[in-house]
Structure formats: C-alpha cells, structure tokens
Structure 1
Amino acid sequence: MITLNHLSTEDPADGCPLIPEAEEATLPSYELGTRPESFFISRTVNLTISLVLLISCYSAILIPAYLPADGSYHEFPKDLVLLNLSASLLSSPCQPRWCLTHLKPLSCSPGLLNIPVFVQQEHPMSWERPPPLGLQGSEQHLALALASLPQLDLPPFLSKEGHCRRCVVVGNGGVLHGSHLGSHIDQYDIIIRLNNAPVPGFERDAGSRTTVRLLYPEGAPHSADEYKQTSMVALVVFKSLDLDWLTSVITKQPLSFWSKMWFWRDVVEEIPLRPENFRILHPEIIHKTGEALQKYAFKQGNMVPTLGACAVVMALQMCDHVSLAGFGYNMQHPEARLHYYEEIRMDAMKAQVVHDVSAEKLFLRDLVAAGAVTDLTRAL
C-alpha cells in the first residue's frame, strides 16, 4: 500500500510553487440573503425579450398564409397545355350565335336570353323589385343619373349586330396568377373586368385592355391608371345612393358629406372617362342570373349573384363566343390564392355569407359543359 504523508506546493526539483498561495487568491464574497446583480436581467429587458419571442412565434404561424405557395409562378406559365388551347381557340374562326346555340339545351336557358344590358328608359313599365334586383324606390335617383348620361344605348363596339364578337370575362380568382394569359386576353374583342381588379403590374397574367368594367361605388378603383385603355364603366346599382354617386362622378358635383357617410368605405370622386363612356347595368341581368342560380342552390329565395356571374350573363347577351379566365373557387385547397392580385388565401371565402359560390360554380360548370362558354383557366 502506498500512502501520501505530505503535499507540497513546491516542485521538489527546483523549489518553485505549483499553485498560488491560498491567501493570495481573491474570491468574491456575498452577505447572506444577497445575490450577484450582474447575473440577472432587469424586468424591462425580460419583457422586451418576451415580446420579441411572442411576435416571432405568431409571425412564424401567420405569415406563411400570405406568402406565394410557389415562387415559380413569376418565372414560368402554370400549364403550357392551357396556353396552347387558348391560342387554338383564338386562331379558329368566330362562329356567329355560338353561345346561344349551345345555351338553349340547358334547363336554365329561357331566362338567360334577350335580357337588356343597360338601363335606357327613365320610367320603365315596372321596377317591381328594390335594388339590386330592380330599381323600385329609386326612380328619382335614376332620372337624375340618366339625365347626366349623353348616351344610353349599346355602343357599336359592344353590339354583335353585323359582327361576330369574341368576349372574355376576366374574373379575380387566384387561378389567373401565373397563367401568362395576358397576351391572349388582349386579343379578344370585348374584355370585361370586375370592380377594382388591377391591371397595371399584372398585364402578363390579366392583360392590359378593358372594354367594360362592372363596378359599384365602393369597388371602383381609386387610381387613375386603372382606367387607362378602358372603354366603358358600367354601374351596378345596389342602393339608390349608388345612382347619386354616378351622377356626381359625371357632373363633377361632389356628394354631400351626409351622403358619403352611407357608403361602407371611401368612394372615388373622379373617374377619368368622358360622360358618354358610362352606363347603368340593367337590374334584369342581376335578377335573371339569380333566378338561374336558384336551380343549383340548396336554399330558395331572392339570391344576389356575384358580379362575376352577372358579367357572364351580360356577355352572353353581347357576344357570339364567351370565354372565362380567373373563375372558380376551390374550397378544397384553403391554402390557394383567393385573388390573382393579392396573397389572401382561399380560407377567407368562408367568412362571406352574401353569395352562394357553390351554386355559381355548378351554374358555370353547366355552361362550360354545354359549350356555351369556355373556361381558359380550367378551375370550374
């Protein structure tokens, strides 16, 4: 057995110390009940770090819902097959009355034929329904609006008399994003757009021209650039005050402060178009569209269709060939884009209760299946 009898702080060889003497070491000492302040962070710093972590967690959860699902949309078309089909459609001869011929076999067709497109009479025989399905109770507002319009009839560039016309209704759906259909859309005779769907900056997918922009006051674009290359604005009347707004825009006489209070959002006060470039959509378009949708709805009653569905029915009155681009809400993919011009997801549609988008999708599917319209983006 080996035992150590003595530990020395000096190297036995040269007498140098191996460790410092105990009395030379200076160690911190604390009184009982105290703690080293440098070890702990202040309450302010603690709160700041907590807030940063909390915001970071929420951002990690929420921000991805507003980001593009696929960055390749900005580089390549979604489907070259669709582009080829669209090109083939445009290159084929225009056949007069194509839509009407293929529309007649449908059960909903009788109510969709020969509907007046724009309001032309100050005192029609009957406005049996209030807006938007009619103009009951808005007669005085209508008279003032019509008096401000130099022209009321269908202009030659919208009439199919003597011409075979191709029309495209450009919906706002996210399926249009990345489609590269813009150059094809611009080749149509009549291009119909809805509300404030933007054109500048989205020409590659949505085109650059606008023949008719259907809108209501709250949905009118505020930027003057959106009205460039626009032939006509058609007002969709949802309330009597909408007619007063149109009169104000045409005559340059501002609305009263009290009138402005009744709009649910700020409305544009000036649209850079000539008075002859304005019209009022006939409420029968909305009424007959709603009646057609009843055949596909689970609940019965007066149905208010979306502007997109109304625009399709309007196009059927003016055009020999009707194509759709940017239509179809796919609720089975909640992460998909809702609109082509913003990154809100499809989930947002669950919050709206005004329109029956499921019934509209079935209605439009039937039109496509019958050959009355063509779906360029194939989302219906």
Structure 2
Amino acid sequence: MAFKRKVVLGVMTAIFILSIYVLCVNLEGPPSWSFMIGGTNSISGDSAHPLQGQRSSDGRTHQPPTSTRHPDTNNANGDESKSESRPNGPGRTRTDVETPKLQPPRSTEPPFIGDTYTSEDVPLQTDCTESIRSHVAQTEFGARFLPNIPVLQWAKHPTPEQHQRLSQYQGVHGWASFDLNMLVDTLSVLNLSANSQMLDGWRELSNGSRCTRCAVVGNGGILKDSGKGTEIDGHHYVFRTNGAIIKGFEQDVGSRTTHYTFSTNTLMNSMRNYAKAGYGGPPVSKETRYVFLPDHDRDYLMMKAAATHTLVKSGHDKNKDPLTLFGKDVSAAKLKMYHPDFVRYLRNRFLRSNTLKGKYKDIYRPSTGAVMLLAAVHTCDQVSAYGFMTPDYKNYSDHYYDSIYRPVGFYANHDLRMEMNLWQQLHQTGLIRLYMHK
C-alpha cells in the first residue's frame, strides 16, 4: 500500500508541474485574438443598397437588393445618382509633388479613409479679388479646403508610384480595381492642356471679366416654374449632370451646357429611367465638355473610345460607339476625368458621414451632383447652384421634369441630408449662392 501511495503521489506531482509549465508558456505568448479597424477590401463605388422602404425617383419602393449595383435616381440633390479644378491658363504647366504635403492620416482612422493626397502647384487662372479661394480662409471651411488638390487626372498621373499609393483605395476613391497598364493606355489620350483644366476656353468666354462665374444646375423639382433659365445661361460656364433634360424646360433651367458630369453607369441608367420624360443622352454642343466620374474601368474604356472615335474595346460596353452619346464632333479636347484623390478628399473633408462607420462604408461616396458642385467650388471664382436639395425638399418633386409628384429617393451609398446641410453652410458663408424658394 505504501508503494501504491508513492506512485499516486508521484503522478499527481508530475501533473501539477506540467500544468504550471503550460500556464507559464501561455502567459508569455501573444493572445490568439486581435482587432482590425476598417479595411481595404471595399467594393466598387458604384454599388449601393437602397434603404428599407424608401422610394426611388421612379416612385417604386425598393428593398435592399442582392446586386451591388445601385440604381440611378437623379434626385433633387442634383445627382442622378447613386452611383462626378484647378484653374490653369493655356500653356501653363502643372507640377506633381509625389510626396504628399499634408499630415499623415490620424492613427485612429481606418486605412480606407486615406486623408493624405498628392498636391499640384497650379497658377491662378484669374486675378479675381472676390473669388471663393480668396474668401474661404475666413470661413469655417478654411481648414478643410486644399487649394492645390488635383481635381482632374490626365496622362501624367498614372505612374508606378502613384498606382501603388492609390491602389489602397477602392472604386472612385482610388485605383485598387484598375491595372496600371490599362490606366496608362486609356489616360494617355488626355494629354492636352484642356484635359488638365476644368475651365478651358476662358479667354474666349471672359468678355473682359476678371472672375469666372459658374452656374451648377441640379435636376431637383425646385426648379419647376422657377423662370431661372436666362439667369443660368448668363454665366460663363454651366454645369449639369446625368438625366438633365433641357428641351421644353429652357425657361426654368436654361439651354447651355459647358460641363456635363457623369459616370458611364449613371449615364446609362439615366437613359433607361428617364427616356419617357425626354432624356435621350448627354447634351451635345460645340462648348460642351464631358467630365467622367470613374466608378470602374468602363469609364476609362468609354473615355478612350470617345477620344479616338473607335468602338469600346472590351468590358460591359464592348462594341458600343461613343459617338452616339457625345456626338460626331467629340474629341480628346472635350474630355475630362475626375482625380480619385479629389473625390476621396470631398468624402473625407466635406461629407464625412456616419455611414462610414456602418455596414455600407465600402460603398459610400459623395453623390455625382455633390462632386460636380464641389468641383466648381474648387475651380470657379463664383458659383451659383440651382436645383439642389433644400430643407423644404418635400414641397417639390424629385425632378423638375416629373409629370406627377415623386418624393426624393434616399440610398445608402450617399448621405443626401448631409449634402443638403453642406449647401446651406456654403450659402450662409457666402462661398456659393444657392437658389431657394422664398
């Protein structure tokens, strides 16, 4: 019995020592769990999920779809949407600073925010003493506003270094979805001074003015019976977007279009959704410039086909003839494309929505109308905005051309109420003049 007790005691002692050893090893090693803040595997910027029970501009109620593509709603914010300058005189050059001048992103921000941008030294196009640029520093937007942010991308931008940097960001906010060779090939056609300037042709349009005056026209129902057409056409430049129907509505919205902002996806959706209302495609005129908001590669491929008068080579629009959209006189000089740094900057600095903290963070971006209006703020000396969402938006139909009342549609990939508040703030600080019913 004494021998058995010794054996049992020895076994128990060995087990106890082994347990102490295992415990010590676990305490010295790293934990088996970790937290990840944010992420970089977001999906394309043209994706969206309608909010439960919300109605789109076609009056139908939508539930969150299984597809990641968002519908075009061409809402009162000047968007279509759910999905798109720096003044520079002719012959003047731009200089990229490959190492961003700004402070690095705050350590508490998720990686997909990327609040660091490339910078370009761009001479002023005018000597306007009453410009947005000269006034912004005295407003609440002074700390947010970057005067040297590149608004447009063109042939010089797709380098290996820039591709590596911008590949951190998905969709319209970067180049993560785009092959460098494709970018070099397509953007190579944007090699003219007009491709790097939002407001090209200023010498012909200035008529002695020292300030560039821009009208930015949304598609909101507030413009119906406004009688603002002549006033809008009186500006040097007139910006429009997506389902902008002009024929029959000239008295309220004007007839000129110098800049038409769109993504290929929202353009095609507008042509499908608003055909019965009279929308057959983009405005076509000698003075019209086409400004692509590149959601994905179909925008780059469509842009190159338009510049070279060839059919789209591949992708969703393969064999499509862009001349049927932009007219037979379209040329590379009439084409522009937003820079992904600019769109990400707008999201981060002007429209930092709480959506970025939720499940739709990967698809959230400023609406196409918002990009257009803020691009004008960054390139024009003076900006007047028409047809954008105002606090009394429920009093007006979604679009000025709606034959019956349709409520504004809200989708998860934009924060239209935040955009509405931003327009009010810009108006109150005098940076823009926003049309509102009195």
Kept after mapping to 2: 8 A contact 1:141/1:241: no
Residue 173 (structure 2) pairs with residue 142 (structure 1): no
Kept after mapping to 2: 8 A contact 1:172/1:339: yes
Q: Deviations over 1:178-220 (max 9, x none)?
A: 1110000111011111123122222111111111111111333
Aligned to 1:248: 305
Aligned to 1:347: 407
Partner Cα distance (1:297, 1:362) in 2: 14
Q: Deviations over 1:36-70 (max 9, x none)?
A: xxxxxxxxxxxxxxxxxxxxxxxxxxxxx89xxxx
Aligned to 2:94: none
TM-score scaled by structure 1? 0.65
Kept after mapping to 2: 8 A contact 1:322/1:372: yes
Q: 1:182 to 1:286 in 2, by over 3 A?
A: same
Aligned to 2:236: 189
Aligned to 2:435: 376
Counterpart code for 1:325: Y
Aligned to 1:131: 171
Kept after mapping to 1: 8 A contact 2:298/2:317: no
Q: How many residues align?
A: 282
Kept after mapping to 2: 8 A contact 1:293/1:359: no
Kept after mapping to 2: 8 A contact 1:233/1:277: yes
Identity of aligned residues (%): 21
Residue 207 (structure 2) pairs with residue 166 (structure 1): no
Q: 1:274 to 1:223 in 2, by over 3 A?
A: farther
TM-score scaled by structure 2? 0.57
| Backbone CA RMSD of aligned residues | 3.3
Partner Cα distance (1:349, 1:158) in 2: 37
Moved more, 368-377 or 96-105: 96-105
Within the candidate set 189, 193, 198, 2:245 is matched to 198
Residue 201 (structure 2) pairs with residue 157 (structure 1): yes
Aligned to 1:259: 316
Residue 143 (structure 2) pairs with residue 99 (structure 1): no
Give the drift of 1:341: 2.0
Kept after mapping to 1: 8 A contact 2:312/2:322: no
Tell me the secondary structure at the aligned position of residue 132 of structure 1.
helix
Tell me the secondary structure at the aligned position of residue 254 of structure 1.
coil
Kept after mapping to 2: 8 A contact 1:214/1:233: yes
Aligned to 1:304: 365
Partner Cα distance (1:298, 1:355) in 2: 8
- Aligned counterparts, 1:1-380, within 5 A: 96-114=129-147, 115-120=149-154, 121-124=156-159, 125=162, 126-127=165-166, 128-138=168-178, 139-151=180-192, 152-154=195-197, 156-157=200-201, 163-220=210-267, 223=280, 226-255=283-312, 259-260=316-317, 270-272=325-327, 273-295=330-352, 297=354, 300=357, 301=361, 303-328=364-389, 330=391, 333=394, 336-343=396-403, 345-350=405-410, 352-378=411-437
Partner Cα distance (1:199, 1:321) in 2: 23
Which entry has the higher C-alpha Rg, 1 or 2? Answer: 1
Q: 1:258 to 1:153 in 2, by over 3 A?
A: closer
Kept after mapping to 1: 8 A contact 2:426/2:432: yes
Q: 1:343 to 1:158 in 2, by over 3 A?
A: farther
Structure (1 or 2) with the greater helix fraction: 1
Tell me the secondary structure at the aligned position of residue 184 of structure 1.
helix
List gaps (5 residues or longer) in structure 2: 1-58, 61-126, 272-278
Partner Cα distance (2:138, 2:293) in 1: 29
Counterpart code for 1:318: T
Kept after mapping to 2: 8 A contact 1:194/1:214: yes
List gaps (5 residues or longer) in structure 1: 1-64, 67-93
Counterpart code for 1:288: Y
